[in-house]
Amino acid sequence: MKNKINEKLIEIENIHVNIKNNIENIHILKGINLTIYKNTSISITGQSGAGKSTLAMTIAGLELISKGKIFFKNKPIHNLNENDLALYRSKYIGIVFQSFNLLDSMTALENVNLPMEISGSKFDSKKSFDLLKSVGLGNRTTHYPHQLSGGEQQRVAIARALIASPEILIADEPTGNLDKKNSEEIMNLIFKLQQENGSSLIIVTHDQSIASRCNQNVFLAVSYTHLRAHETSLHL
């Protein structure tokens, strides 16, 4: 039987991202080629301004590319409209942001179930509770974000990202607003739940100790003429 870890999940072919403002046209990503496999973990590191988060968000369908192609399970997502991209995200993508992005007016339980509500799925209080319990917050289900510490808020965000059992879990600098102790706990939790859920994990990080825990390591480098992605290691 073919090893699932060698099955291609995402294929990126020569993508470019241009962002226009009132002053100039900023060419953030220039000719990126990358393959991401099933049931694996990949870190995206590199220089500030190299487009690490932009690359992750193109995979999530939150940042549109200007040129090139992106395939998910051999199906193109680069030409999907907004409605189809929203459906793609709701079915296959979970995102953990640096700034948590919880809704202040919702309890921890309600925040976790929010992706299901957006997709029109039935409220599943048991699954939401089980996820909160798995991240150590089984006794915090009715608490609001302002009643939780930064580390606890990020745990809620992790549970929310996993509520739909996504095939791709994207963590964009997930420990950027946390102290060292909480950072270590959050990363241990992310890797543990990623393995249990069977997702492919994409981590944007400046921390080499986090990057070293991943199966694939990609470094984004800026040159005067182009930006390129180097797959520095692949240890499957």
Share of the chain above pLDDT 70, in %: 92
pLDDT digit string (tens) for 120-136? Answer: 777 778 899 999 999 99
Q: What average pLDDT does this structure show over 63-82?
A: 95
234 pLDDT band (50/70/90 cuts)?
very low
Give me the pLDDT at residue 26, please. 80
Q: Is 10 exposed, middle or buried (0-12, 13-18, 19+ CB in 10 A)?
A: buried
Q: What is this structure's pTM?
A: 0.88
- Per-residue pLDDT of 190-233, as tens digits, reads 999 999 989 999 999 999 999 999 999 999 976 533 444 544 44
What end-to-end distance do the CA atoms of the chain give, in Å? 16
For the chain, percent of residues with pLDDT exceeding 90: 74
The answer to whether 108 and 182 are in contact (CB under 8 A) is: no
